[in-house]
Amino acid sequence: LQFTEEKLGQAEKTELDAHFENLLARADCTKNWTEKILRQTEVLLQPNPSARVEEFLYEKLDRKVPSRVTNGELLAQYMTEAANDFGPGTPYGKTLIKVGETQRRLGAAEREFIRSASINFLTPLRNFLEGDWRTISKERRILQNRRLDLDACKARLKKAKAAEAKAAVTL
């Protein structure tokens, strides 16, 4: 009732401290930017949307995500197979083997980068959103409910004093 009356402009609202309001605004801003950064980093690390959904499902089911071959590793595999077809002794075959080995190393480095970024960058962001932010939201709701209770009690006290003053005037 107090919340509805405040929204309709029929009841007074106790304002929170300006510093506290600033902290709440900064917390909201931090949450929004953290979500955007998390999503965009996931897109950068795994551009394939269906693979991201699959990884998400594995994560929610508490199962290990199967290891994927990176594009660089796949290219290295193709180059090595082509080199074997052309003959490793031919100039083209030798070149394919060298470039394929380099691509394999690049693919392994990419895989390590993705693993490292996930552990060292994405995990803390997720921990903030799933842990700290939930706590902040819960405490904010509790504070809002307490403030509404306080304002409702103030309104009742005001009505009681007005009724008491009216009764004193009529006597």
- Does the pTM of the predicted model rise above 0.95? no
Residue of higher predicted confidence among 6 and 120: 120
Query: Is 90 exceeded by the pLDDT of residue 124?
Result: yes
Tell me the CA distances in angstroms from 51 to 2, 56, 67, 140, one per residue in order: 48, 9, 11, 36
Lowest model confidence (mean pLDDT) among 15-24, 53-62, 147-156: 53-62
Lowest model confidence (mean pLDDT) among 3-7, 24-28, 156-160: 3-7
How far is the C-alpha of 31 from the C-alpha of 131, rounded, in Å? 12
Residue of higher predicted confidence among 64 and 35: 35
Query: Is 90 exceeded by the pLDDT of residue 134?
Result: yes
The string of DSSP codes covering 10-60 is -S--PPPPHHHHHHHHHHHHHHHHHHHHHHHHHHHH---HHHHHHHHHHHH
The matching CATH number, chosen from 1.20.1270.60, 1.10.150.20, 3.55.40.20, 3.60.20.10, for 1-170 is 1.20.1270.60
Query: Is 90 exceeded by the pLDDT of residue 31?
Result: yes
How far is the C-alpha of 56 from the C-alpha of 40, rounded, in Å? 15
Instruction: Assign 6 a pLDDT band (cuts: 50, 70, 90).
Output: low
Measuring CA to CA, which residue among 106, 44, 42, 107 is closest to residue 70?
107
Cβ–Cβ < 8 Å for 77, 107: no
